[in-house]
Amino acid sequence: AQSVTQLGSHVSVSEGALVLLRCNYSSSVPPYLFWYVQYPNQGLQLLLKYTSAATLVKGINGFEAEFKKSETSFHLTKPSAHMSDAAEYFCAVSDRGSSNTGKLIFGQGTTLQVKP
Amino acid sequence: ETGVTQTPRHLVMGMTNKKSLKCEQHLGHNAMYWYKQSAKKPLELMFVYNFKEQTENNSVPSRFSPECPNSSHLFLHLHTLQPEDSALYLCASSQDPGGTEAFFGQGTRLTVV
C-alpha cells in the first residue's frame, strides 16, 4: 500500500529565502508523486508531478521537486520565497497498486508561512 | 471557466435537513472523486467513480449518498448530518483511474448546526 509522510506541519521562511518542504513516500510499485498547493478556502491546485520520467521536476510558480528513489523522498523546493507562496502544501502518491483506482493518497499537509 | 465546478461554495444546514452538493467537470475525464477535508486532519477520500460506476466507498456513513448520473456530474446527497460532518468537501476528476493527476474544484464549505 502507498503512503506519504510530510515532515513538519509548519514551515516559516523569510521572503527571498529558500523554501524546502519535505515529503517521504512508501510504495510497493514505482510511484507517481504530486505536490499540490491550497490557498485559504480554495481547492487544491497541482504544482508539479513525477510520473517516472526525469527525476527533477519543474512546476508552476518557480517550484521544483526531485525524486530520489534511494531516499524514498520527493522534497519540494523554491530558491526564493515570495509572500504569495504562503499557503498549505500537500504531497500525494497515486494508488497504482493492485486496486489501481487512481486515487490520491495525501500527506498531512505543510503550512508555509512567509515573513516579510 | 474552471475545469471542475462545485456548487454551492458555502452551505449551512440543520441536522434534520436534506441537501445536495453538486460537482461538474468540463475536462472530459472518466473518474471523479469526493474528498473530505476537516481541520487538523489529512484529506480523506470518500468515494471514487470510474465511468459512472462507484469503485470505492471508503467506509463512509450512509448519511452521505453519492450519485453519478454521467461522467461529467457527481452529486453528494446529505441527510441527518452531525456537527462533526462540518468540513470542506472537495470534488476532483482525473482522466482515468490509472494514476494521472487529479483536478480539484474549489470545494463546498459545509457547516452543520
Q: Provide the pLDDT confidence category of residue A37 given band limits of 50, 70 and 90.
A: very high
Q: What is the mean pLDDT of chain B?
A: 91
Quick one: average pLDDT of B84-113? 89
pLDDT of A98 higher than 70: no
Quick one: average pLDDT of A82-105? 83
State the Cα–Cα distance between residues A91 and A105, nearest whole angstrom.
8
Cβ(A112)–Cβ(A85) under 8 Å? Answer: yes
Summarize pLDDT for A12-24 with one digit per residue, the tens. 999 999 999 999 9
Are the beta carbons of A43 and B104 separated by less than 8 Å?
yes
Quick one: average pLDDT of B4-26? 95
State the Cα–Cα distance between residues A84 and B24, nearest whole angstrom.
29
Return residues 28-67 of B near A (CB < 8 Å).
Answer: 31, 33, 42-43, 45, 48, 50, 55-56
pLDDT of A58 higher than 90: yes
Beta partners for residue B90, in sequence order: B35
Q: Which member of B96, B99, B101 has the closest CB to residue A46?
A: B101
pLDDT of A111 higher than 90: yes
Are the beta carbons of B100 and A103 separated by less than 8 Å?
no
Q: Is B32 exposed, middle or buried (0-12, 13-18, 19+ CB in 10 A)?
A: buried
Summarize pLDDT for B25-78 with one digit per residue, the tens. 999 999 999 999 998 788 999 999 988 888 888 889 999 999 999 989 999 999
Cβ(B17)–Cβ(B111) under 8 Å? Answer: no
pLDDT of residue B76: 98
